[in-house]
Chain A
């Protein structure tokens, strides 16, 4: 195994498309916050992106294979940090999600746990020696994700907890899931969802979470709450038409948080179907480029790492854009690369750093 890596092997094409999306995001953040108290957010977002790119280069330099060798320690550390949140966490708006760090910063462990999970799942399946997944492997892989997921759900942070799911799903799928297992998972999921909503004794979800999800099914139930948000988002998107419009939904503040969770609605309103489809196309190119990198990865572990990133990114896009167009309930999941927010940007670039890491080593061995 050579230690020689070169930035010539860096995926510059991928980076260009990623930065293109970030640029559109910064532009939209500027437009959406122009006359509000959040004015100037786009400058901060630029800083985050610059910082993210730097972090990406740093991560790409550390051999992912070396990281994978140590992943059990990372995993233990991530569980420990989630426990720390449970014990020392700052309560804000009814949820314990943050730890106060020295220097006044707030640290949200559930974000970086996502990265660790990608590595842990990759490591687990890379080390697996069978072509077909056994039930015990299936259960163990599930447990790796389920433990931190339940802890995040407890905070409660339904949105982030849900983003752990695609990591497990992608791992299991690529790791050799059998049809039988897929059916069982689908059945269990269906029963679980049914129990959460229709059996009054099961208190897995907080009432506001249930309300968000039920108001999605019937927005009339709660026209001013999350149903209202979805309705306003649909109006924003729809009024954009083919070529985009004035953006009265965004600028009249009818659209909730247009710079974060609903940034795609704001963009769609101002740039219409053509613009929105263009952004989707950019994301699609990025995802296809990533899967291509997964195919050319030097080993199974590299493929799993890249596909883990693909899974998380796709899931974010599906849930966020799905919410904006009214297909999905409001879960508070941002649109990666576009939405304003440091932790979301940092996570994406760290994840991309790992992808680059894998790619730069594709000709090694």
Chain B
């Protein structure tokens, strides 16, 4: 027992002092560790904190047409963002901000509250691609609303209304899937890259290289100074082989119809126009595509995102008869073959009908020329039967069918050329001779893409010189751009000159009275071509489902002008167009636009821009009884006026 005045144990008090000393030694060690031992590390960390690498975005290269006219440009687009400076009452400012930026004030307040738990330096993105008056609002309220800021990015300005949309493609943020692919390994998340079309194929040329700026920032991410800058390297402009005038003609020809049009220079493989329908507006993707919009585009049965010119694989119908004719001629069968068409013929126990059967007509005696311009099915059933599937496949394959053409656009489809070997490999079944008959008229298993068909027909029209279709002239690309090396390859398909002359002569008659499509003829222009009407279901079945639009036949037409040494080939796919002659009218419109342009701007054909120029021309003198158009041709000299060319017609929607 001890008294009230007894002292507290002195040992324990001393122990307490030592404990305090221990605490201070530990704390002093903590300071020593950070400030002396790891001082360099933390000084660096402080610098990194303070200095932020702000990317300086490189504008993408413009996309131009073959004459240097702008198709795709960039425009500066501003996004509004909210810096979360703690000195401002954001909720109180929400009404004014919402009014100026045309947002819903309640929604804005909810968003500000939701971000309250996020780190301060992360700004809230309010609105992308703000309008000029919204930008003006932010500029005018710099003092009242210092927390409002803008960030500028270059955005793509595409032609409006889906003009050329499939060929150009569109850009978007690089996806995680893409980052895993080897060709995108150098990109960073958030980079804007081409997602489809030319934008994707030539992304490396168009993209440029982002620069960076070392900015001094505070913890709110607000820039308070600048240390240095690495400038951005803008993307290079890309000159397409497309001719805007031709493209406009093709776009207008196809209008709202389903299908595709391709125009190509058969001498080089340069694509002059490429249209696919239905189309989409890539400007919708330039900012933000909403989930609904995207789903609508993806689930649309007409597949608006598909570039049908290179991705639609369909039965070529009667256009395939040209390939059949070449095969038949080269094998020495077609030129001497004569068939009597009764409207139908029996093959392997099945009555195969000619298309005239449904008009209650017959073709009568048919030779190869008549079989081409009247598109007699019975003739080609017989020819196919005589050739056999393997010989047909040999020539179709030699003319580039059933394989990718190598066009410089992504995701080209390869089509299909059936053969005995193919059927065995795919279905483990024997090929039946009866199937060959239908391949002879471009039905059955054979499928082509418009670009394959145009390449094959162009090769025939050029006497066997087969080019690779392309939308960029490789000489316009940076040197050593390996991906484009194959675009100028030329293959020679051996075709007897007498044969292709005969066949193209017959194709000329297609657009003359007595041919399948005389009404598509354009006076004064020599057009050789071939129509095709490819069945979606057999004609007998079709009759059972009357007026079902989904079963309507696909109309095809491939044509070129002039008949010898052509300088343009056009292929039209008119889905649900019922008959090739409707497709032919669309094609001849495009050809007409081409020829008229050449006649208007003859310097495109010669070296000399002025003075006396020798011009080739074709014209017609109508017969007095109007029964038959006579085409006359000749060459003559004209004086070129020294007047400036009319300003180029810009694509619709380009400002």
Contact = CB atoms under 8 A, between A and B. Distances in A.
A283 B86 CA distance: 33
B17 interface: yes
Interface stretch (A16-24, A101-109, A319-327): A319-327
Interface in A315-341: 317-318, 321-322, 325-327
Interface string A221-250: 000100010001011111111100100110
B31 A273 contact: yes
Interface stretch (B18-26, B247-255, B338-346): B18-26
A295 B9 contact: no
A291 B17 contact: yes
A244 to B, nearest CB: 9
Contacts of A314: 20, 23
Given A241-B35, A291-B16, A235 B7 contact: no
Nearest to A38: B87
Interface string A65-96: 00000000000000000000000000000000
A214 to B, nearest CB: 17
Contacts of B8: 174, 294, 300, 303-304, 307
B45 A303 contact: no
Given A248-B46, A277-B28, A307 B39 contact: no
A151 interface: no
B28 A280 contact: yes
B482 interface: no
B649 interface: no
Nearest to A251: B218
B350 interface: no
A53 interface: no
A173 interface: yes
Contacts of B32: 273
A272 B42 CA distance: 12
B13 interface: yes
A325 B33 CA distance: 9
Nearest to B23: A318
Among B16, B26, B35, B38, residue most surrounded by chain A Cβ atoms (within 10 Å): B35
A327 B217 CA distance: 28
A168 interface: no
Contacts of A131: 2
A237 B35 contact: yes
A321 B33 CA distance: 13
B34 interface: yes
A242 B39 contact: yes
Given A174-B12, A238-B35, A248-B50, A253 B42 contact: no
B218 A237 contact: no
Nearest to A287: B20
Contacts of A11: none
Interface string A38-81: 00000000000000000000000000000000000000000000
A292 B38 CA distance: 37
Interface string A113-136: 000000000000010011100000
Nearest to B21: A284
Contacts of A232: 49
Given A174-B16, A268-B35, A280-B24, A325 B6 contact: no
Contacts of A327: 26-27, 30
A180 interface: no
A299 B34 contact: no
B47 to A, nearest CB: 8
A253 B36 CA distance: 23
B12 A173 contact: yes
Contact of B35 (A224, A242, A249, A365): A242
B57 to A, nearest CB: 25
A52 B49 CA distance: 38
B6 A300 contact: yes
B220 interface: yes
Nearest to A320: B27
Contact of B4 (A126, A254, A283, A288): A126
Contacts of B4: 126, 299-300
Contacts of A234: 34, 42
B75 interface: no
A254 B87 CA distance: 15
Contacts of A294: 8, 13
Nearest to B8: A303
Contact of B39 (A126, A224, A239): A239
Interface in B599-621: none
B219 interface: yes
Given A235-B49, A272-B35, A176 B119 contact: no
Contact of B219 (A129, A238, A253, A325): A253
A29 interface: no
A241 B32 CA distance: 9
Contacts of A318: 23, 27
Interface in B35-62: 35-36, 38-39, 41-43, 45-47, 49-50
Nearest to B35: A273
B543 interface: no
Contacts of A253: 218-220
Nearest to B6: A300
B1 A295 contact: no
B22 to A, nearest CB: 10
A280 B27 contact: yes
Contacts of B10: 295
B5 interface: yes
A222 B41 CA distance: 21
A310 interface: yes
B49 A249 contact: yes
A310 B20 contact: yes
B39 A238 contact: yes
Contacts of B219: 252-254
A3 to B, nearest CB: 19
Interface string B268-291: 000000000000000000000000
Contacts of A304: 8
Given A174-B13, A235-B46, A237-B42, A325 B1 contact: no
Contacts of A280: 24, 27-28, 31
A170 interface: yes
B217 A252 contact: yes
Enumerate the 9 nearest inter-chain pairs by beta-carbon distance, A residue then B residue, closest first.
A238-B42, A325-B30, A239-B46, A273-B35, A224-B119, A238-B34, A253-B219, A37-B87, A252-B218
Interface of B: 1-2, 4-10, 12-13, 15-17, 20-21, 23-24, 26-28, 30-36, 38-39, 41-43, 45-47, 49-50, 86-87, 118-119, 217-220, 224
15 contacts: A129-B1, A129-B2, A174-B12, A238-B38, A241-B43, A249-B46, A252-B217, A254-B46, A254-B218, A283-B24, A291-B16, A294-B8, A300-B6, A307-B8, A307-B16
Given A241-B39, A273-B36, A321-B30, 18 more contacts: A235-B49, A238-B35, A238-B39, A239-B39, A241-B36, A248-B49, A252-B49, A252-B219, A253-B220, A254-B49, A276-B35, A283-B24, A284-B24, A300-B6, A300-B8, A314-B20, A321-B27, A326-B34
